[in-house]
């Protein structure tokens, strides 16, 4: 049997600054009751000025290396999932590689938006299976506050900043990644956009602030897509793992919106108590969302050794993915 990628350590970082619903009431026409009813979010973490994705990724990386009890020189590969890199080049993964002194590691950034951590875990699993790499650092890191339009009441309530990280290594036992699914719908990409070099007057006009680099989203279309994608990806990943939903102890979804999670749970026919939720504290942190939720699920005792979990996400692109992991 080929070895599997086993998660051997976890670590995360979130900024200390909180942006509460009460704060947002002073910025746009909204209310705490409206935000909680529509999203389930009560507050989100915001990076201080001058703090970028690589800074938070670096802290998460140092914490996970300490928790793993290994040195940066032992790493073979660093995968960073991010939609909000400091710059186009060098990549966030290269910045982290240099700052932690991981001289023996390759470094790759991945952008599948909020699906990023699952994409990175899937890629790492293939490297582990082939024996090409033995120790891989995966980080999801986002400064979504930098692309948020704080004049748009429909989107500014959603997003926060943070970074989560794991170390994966080979396991020939029952632990590790049992099955994964990735997918994309490029035709639907128009429903969630943020521009770099390209100029598009129609897209710019959609944004309340007129800043094309801020994120714009057709919320109703993304919600419908997300519910379908999360349920489909979960079902397919569980089947690929040779299991049924009854074998799954917990589902750790991308923390985007409580209505999306509730909709996916209903489609799957599972109770909400089998879904791990921490979005009320952090909002949507894109690719950092799942690894931070995973860390908190372990820290709270919701996940323990021997448990089998589904990590499932969806995001811009449009993309989706799920991984079945036994701990």
d(C-alpha 37, C-alpha 58), whole Å:
35
Contacts of 134 (CB under 8 A, 6+ apart): 76, 128, 169, 170
User: Residue 2: what pLDDT?
Assistant: 79
Strands 308-315 and 319-326: antiparallel
Token pair of 171, please?
A: 């396991």
pLDDT tens profile 223-280: 999 999 999 999 999 999 999 999 999 999 999 999 999 999 999 999 999 999 999 9
Local mean pLDDT, 10-residue blocks, the chain (327 residues)? 91 98 96 96 97 98 98 98 96 98 98 97 97 97 96 95 98 92 96 88 86 88 95 97 97 96 96 96 98 97 96 96 97
Active-site residue identified among 94, 114, 156, 295: 114
User: Residue 211: what pLDDT?
Assistant: 86
Tokens 């299991």 appear where? 243
All domains of the chain in start order, with CATH: 4-174 (3.40.47.10), 178-326 (3.40.47.10)
Active-site residue identified among 94, 254, 257, 278: 254
User: Residue 197: what pLDDT?
Assistant: 85
Say whether 284 is catalytic: yes
Active-site residue identified among 21, 111, 284, 295: 284
Say whether 114 is catalytic: yes
Contacts of 92 (CB under 8 A, 6+ apart): 53, 54, 57, 80, 82, 85, 86, 109, 139, 141
Alpha helices in the chain (DSSP H): 21-25, 32-39, 53-68, 92-100, 116-130, 201-206, 219-240, 258-268, 279-282, 289-299
pLDDT tens profile 145-176: 999 999 999 999 999 999 999 999 999 788 99
Torsion over CA: 135, 109, 154, 219 (sign): negative
């Amino acid at each position: 049997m080929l070895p599997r990628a086993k998660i051997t350590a976890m670590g995360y970082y979130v900024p200390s600054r909180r942006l509460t619903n009460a704060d947002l009431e002073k910025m746009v026409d909204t209310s705490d009751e409206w935000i909680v009813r529509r999203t389930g979010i009560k507050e989100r973490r915001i990076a201080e000025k001058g703090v970028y994705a690589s800074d938070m990724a670096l802290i998460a990386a140092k914490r996970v290396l300490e928790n793993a009890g290994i040195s940066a020189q032992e790493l073979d590969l660093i995968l960073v999932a991010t939609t909000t890199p400091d710059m186009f080049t060098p990549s966030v993964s290269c910045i982290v590689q240099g700052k932690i002194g991981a001289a023996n590691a390759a470094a790759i950034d991945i952008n599948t938006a909020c699906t990023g951590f699952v994409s990175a875990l899937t890629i790492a699993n293939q490297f582990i299976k082939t024996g090409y790499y033995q120790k891989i650092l995966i980080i999801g890191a986002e400064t979504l506050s930098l692309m948020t339009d704080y004049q748009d009441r429909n989107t500014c309530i959603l997003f926060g900043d943070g970074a989560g990280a794991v170390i994966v290594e080979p396991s020939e036992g029952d632990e590790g990644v049992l099955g994964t699914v990735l997918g994309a719908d490029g035709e639907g990409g128009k429903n969630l956009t943020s521009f770099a070099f390209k100029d598009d007057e129609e897209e710019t006009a959609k944004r309340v602030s007129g800043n094309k680099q801020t994120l714009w989203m057709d919320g109703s279309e993304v919600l419908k897509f997300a519910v379908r994608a999360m349920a489909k990806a979960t079902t397919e990943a569980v089947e690929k793992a040779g299991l049924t939903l009854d074998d799954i102890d917990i589902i750790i979804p991308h923390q985007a919106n409580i209505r999306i999670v509730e909709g996916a749970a209903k489609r799957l026919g599972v109770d909400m108590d089998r879904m791990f939720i921490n979005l009320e504290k952090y909002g949507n942190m894109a690719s950092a969302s799942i690894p931070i939720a995973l860390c908190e699920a372990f820290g709270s005792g919701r996940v323990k050794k021997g448990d089998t979990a589904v990590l499932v996400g969806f995001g811009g692109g449009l993309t989706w993915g799920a991984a079945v992991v036994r701990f």
